[in-house]
Structure formats: C-alpha cells, structure tokens
Amino acid sequence: MALDRWIAIVVLLICLAYGYAAFFTMDDALPPIMRRAPIWPSSFPKVLVVGAILMTLIIILGLEKGPQKTEAADINLARLHEYKVGQALMLIGLMIAYALLLRPLGFLASTFLFLTVGSFILGERRFLMMAIVSILAAGFIWYLVDGVLGIFLRPLPGFLVGG
C-alpha cells in the first residue's frame, strides 16, 4: 500500500478519536443556557471531523487518483536520502519553537521570526524581502485577529507591556 494511504489511515484514526470527543464529550460541561444556542463550541470541530473523515476515506479508497495510476509518484523509501527530510524536520522544529515562544515574545516578534526563519529554511536568500514580507504579514494577521475578530493577542513581549 502506498505511503499516502498509510498516512490517511493514521489521520482517520486521529479523526475518529477527535470526533468521539466532539460529538460525545465536549458539550457535557455546557451550562443549560448555552444548550439552547444554535451554535455550540463543538460545532466547528464536528464540521472539521466530518470533512476530514470524508477526505481520508477518499484517499484510502483511491478515488482522488485518475484512471491511469503510475507508481513513480509514490515515495521510494530506498531513496529517502534524496528527499529533503532535514528541511521538513527543521520546519517541524520551527513550528514547535513558534508555539513555545508565542507567549514570551508576543505575537508580532514570534510570527516575524517564524516567517523569516521558515523562508530561510525553504531557500529564500533575499533577506530584505523576507523581512518586509514577514513584518507585513505578522502585522496584518495580528490586525485581523485582534482588531477585526476581537480576539486579544498580545502583540509585544510581556516584559515590555508590564505583564
């Protein structure tokens, strides 16, 4: 079986566990007044689970592939050293570092660093362009989340704003 189907099976198992939590355990602690609301906190996770299960089943059953199937597109584990595994592992490590640094550094600084270092890992070498795009993207995303959606994100490190 191809690697994409194995990954789809693992994702399907995760979705089934997450779906059990979304459909059966998330809403137990809701106060009675919120049980009358048309949208519950578990509504979006339920939609995500149903969509993810459908997508993984499409991959497992092979419905996403055309009538001619070539095995050349599959990942060859014997030639794993030719793939950019190190680059992928560095990006995963960068994502973990971003999640850990989000509170101490604030949203703007940690997002700027994540975007800049991530683009460097992927091969971008125009440092001025990386900095400009990272600053604009971090600022725009912060404005959308904080200003438009009204979800508070600490933009600066806690030691700069007194908390």
Task: Examine the pLDDT at 32 and tell me if it is beyond 90.
Answer: no
Give residue 95's pLDDT.
95
Task: Examine the pLDDT at 116 and tell me if it is beyond 90.
Answer: yes
Burial label for 49, CB within 10 Å (0-12, 13-18, 19+), is buried
Give residue 148's pLDDT.
83
Instruction: Write the pLDDT tens digit of every residue in 121-137.
Output: 999 899 999 999 999 99
CA proximity to 106, closest of 142, 131, 133: 142
Beta carbons within 8 Å of 82's beta carbon, 6+ residues apart: none
Cα gap 77→79, rounded to integer Å: 5
At residue 79, φ and ψ (nearest 5 deg) are -110, 30
Token pair in block for residue 13: 């198992």
**Cβ count near 106 (within 10 Å):** 21
Q: What is the pTM of this model?
A: 0.54
Cα gap 101→95, rounded to integer Å: 10
Q: Percent of the chain having pLDDT more than 70?
A: 90
DSSP state of 156: S
- How does residue 67 score in pLDDT terms, banded at 50, 70 and 90? low
Cα gap 135→154, rounded to integer Å: 16
Give residue 70's pLDDT.
55
Helical packing angle, 107-121 and 85-105, nearest 10°: 170
